[in-house]
Amino acid sequence: MDKAKIKVQDFLARVPLFNSMGPEELSRIALGTTELRVERGGQIFQRGDPCVGFHQVLYGQVKLSFTSVSGVEKVIELIGPGQSFGEALMFMGSPYIVSAQATEDTLLLHVSKPVIYREIHHDAEFACKMLAGLSQRMHSLMCDMESYALRSGTQRVAGYLLKELGEPGDTELTLPVTKAVLASRLNLTPEHFSRILADLSTQRLIAFKGRRINILNAEALRDHAGY
């Protein structure tokens, strides 16, 4: 598919939030939707900017993060194709509490708040889908909190590697971001993350070179993850 020729309505029709809508409804949504192309490393918004809608990722990846006054970054979430972000703050009428940056060349749609409010008042099913999406995001954040509080660094890394494997039986994966970014996402320092990878490699559970990971013993890795 030629990414440059994607029609807004065509993509919206494939997004679960909008896939039950007819052409007329999709056209209304599209009128309040802006296409946004961001190069790798480009900033989408900064913490404190006004939130006047939400973003949907078509392709690429977006990093949501905080940065402390001393310049230390904490990655909150990595958003990939088909995922969205910003809905909760849009409804709250609050400014962004995180910053968003593209970790690779990314195409997004920004759907404006007035369009969403109009459809919510018009379509109860659409409103329920919005609530379901927000609930899933909240559940994911609660799972992250549980992991940070109750699981060791090794358990978090092992669990992440197993989760990132594709089809059943796959044994290879490529980390989607740098090790430093991924370490922050797992609430680890880069040094601790590297030590865990080295330890798993010494135990011959994985082999790695750069961002390429080979799972050598998935069953033992699951034991390390606490599954």
- Whether the per-residue pLDDT at 72 is higher than 70: the answer is yes
End-to-end Cα separation, the chain, in angstroms: 39
Same domain, 7 and 115: yes
Domain ends where: 149, 171, 203? 149
Q: Which residue has the higher pLDDT, 164 or 43?
A: 43
Total number of domains constituting the chain: 2
Domain ends where: 92, 116, 149? 149
Q: Mean pLDDT highest for which of 57-71, 120-134, 190-204? A: 190-204
CA distance 143 to 99: 22
Q: Predicted confidence band at 4 (pLDDT cuts at 50, 70, 90)? A: very low
Same domain, 15 and 112: yes
pLDDT of 198 reads 96
Same domain, 145 and 218: no
CA distance 55 to 86: 6
Q: What is the pTM of this model?
A: 0.80
Q: Which residue has the higher pLDDT, 16 or 23?
A: 23
Q: Mean pLDDT highest for which of 4-13, 64-73, 83-92? A: 83-92
Same domain, 20 and 121: yes
- Whether the per-residue pLDDT at 193 is higher than 80: the answer is yes
Domain ends where: 149, 182, 211? 149
pLDDT of 122 reads 87
Same domain, 85 and 178: no
Specify the CATH number for the domain of residue 211: 1.10.10.10
pLDDT, tens digit, 9 for 90 and up, residues 113-146: 999 999 999 888 888 888 888 888 888 888 888 8
Specify the CATH number for the domain of residue 15: 2.60.120.10
Q: What stretches of 99-186 show up as alpha helix (H) in DSSP? A: 113-122, 124-150, 153-164, 179-185
What letters, b where the CB count within 10 A reaches 16 and e where it falls short, cover 124-151?
Answer: eebeebbeebeeebeeeeeebeebeeeb
Domain housing 158: 151-225
Same domain, 214 and 200: yes
